[in-house]
Amino acid sequence: MGKELRALRLLSLLAIAVGMLAAPTGASAQPARRLDVSQPLTYFIAEGPARSGMEAADRTLARWALEAWARLVDPPLRLVPGPEATAAIRVYWVGAAGGLYGEMRGRIVGGRLAADVFVHPDTESLGADIAVVARRDALFRDAIVYLTCVHELGHAFGLGHTRAFADIMYSFQYGGDFVAYFKRFRDKLERREDIREASPFSYGDTAAFRALYGGSGG
């Protein structure tokens, strides 16, 4: 029994590590060029089906994640809600998919690079270590959903995975403590509204984003 449990745990962690915040087969996590921000960047955040595990307030988490990236440069990138058909960035909520936290798929709209972000908000599907903590701590669960949005939006903006555990663009394919990764952000929070103010970014994330979009940030 002990060997079976260890094997199941290893398979669970491996599924998360391979799938964590990775693009789906056939899609690149690193768009060939940056988004066009010469005009306001349009975005659309969808409602989620009940089977996805999405909560009503998760749409706010996605918007906060988008705004967090926009604030990294000075002046901030201009964001405006847009129609689903033509929005440069679209966020969707989908059910569990083999341990995946999120995905990004690039697309072209009107000759310009655009991106669809898919977030899996059901923490019960992300392995026992994550599920147990999220079940008893709503802010931990929200931190996971928020950081997944931030990470996948990073791909939408053109950033690739990194090997640095401190980065929001870190990939779990390089290993690491999954619970600790999210908990370090959770520990900055006393209430849900703090998510909007607490930075999820490392120096490396910030430098990479500013290299693409300019500005020193504030």
pLDDT in tens, the chain (218 residues): 333 333 333 333 333 333 343 433 333 344 447 999 999 999 999 998 888 889 999 999 999 999 999 999 999 999 999 999 999 999 999 987 656 789 999 999 999 999 999 999 999 888 899 999 999 999 999 999 999 999 999 999 999 999 999 999 999 888 889 899 999 999 999 999 999 999 999 999 999 999 999 865 54
In a domain, 58, yes or no: yes
In a domain, 120, yes or no: yes
In a domain, 72, yes or no: yes
Q: How far apart are CA 97 and CA 15, in angstroms?
A: 10
110-113 LR contacts (CB < 8 Å, sep 24+): 110/86, 112/35, 112/36, 112/88, 113/31, 113/32, 113/33, 113/34, 113/35, 113/36, 113/88
Whole-model pTM?
Answer: 0.84
Q: How far apart are CA 218 and CA 71, in angstroms?
A: 7
In a domain, 148, yes or no: yes
The residue range of the domain holding 31 is 2-213
Strands 89-93, 41-45: pairing kind? parallel
Q: Which pLDDT value is given to residue 202? A: 98
Q: Which pLDDT value is given to residue 59? A: 97
CATH of the domain at 76: 3.40.390.10
Q: Which pLDDT value is given to residue 3? A: 39
Laid out side by side, the sheet with 89-93 consists of 79-81, 41-45, 89-93, 112-119, 102-109
Q: Which pLDDT value is given to residue 97? A: 64
| Amino acid symbol at 14 | L
In a domain, 83, yes or no: yes
In a domain, 108, yes or no: yes
Q: How far apart are CA 169 and CA 102, in angstroms?
A: 12
- Reading the block at residue 107, the tokens are 């697309």
Q: How far is CA 134 from CA 23, 32, 183, 199, 207, in A?
A: 24, 36, 10, 21, 31
Domain count, the chain: 1
> Could you give the angle at the alpha carbon of 102 between the alpha carbons of 154 and 178, nearest 5°?
90
In a domain, 53, yes or no: yes
In a domain, 218, yes or no: no
Q: Which pLDDT value is given to residue 46? A: 96
Q: Which pLDDT value is given to residue 71? A: 97
Contacts of residue 31, defined as CB under 8 A and 6 or more positions apart, other chains included, come to 106, 113, 115, 155, 156, 158
- Reading the block at residue 77, the tokens are 């990138």
